[in-house]
Amino acid sequence: MKKKEMKKQGGNWVLLNKKRKILYRSDSVADVYRKGQEYPEGSVIIEQRFEPGTCFF
């Protein structure tokens, strides 16, 4: 996915390759997990990007 498209797409859940390049991002955790299924097991990583200062209670 092109950077421009990703920026437009937004989202705080991301799919990364081993070099930590963002392959996909979405606000939906399920979408990111679903996209992750398209890659061989262990070849990608899922992360959530929190806004700095986000509080979880």
Partner 1 sequence: MSHSPLLKFNFTYDDRFGVPLIPVTFFHKNGTRAQLLNNAILDSGAYEITIPKELADLLGLVLRPRSNPVHTAGGRIEACTATIDFVLGRGGRFVHYSNVDICVMEQCPAVLIGIRPLFEDYNITIMAHQHRCILEPKE
Contact residues for partner 1, defined by CB under 8 A: 15-16, 28-30, 33-34, 36-37, 39, 41-42, 44-48, 50, 52-54, 56-57
CB of 2 to partner 1, least distance (A): 22
**14: DSSP letter:** E
What whole-number distance in Å separates Cα of residue 5 and Cα of residue 3? Answer: 5
Closer CB to partner 1, residue 4 or residue 51?
51
What whole-number distance in Å separates Cα of residue 24 and Cα of residue 10? Answer: 10
Retrieve residue 46's tokens.
């899922």
CB of 21 to partner 1, least distance (A): 14
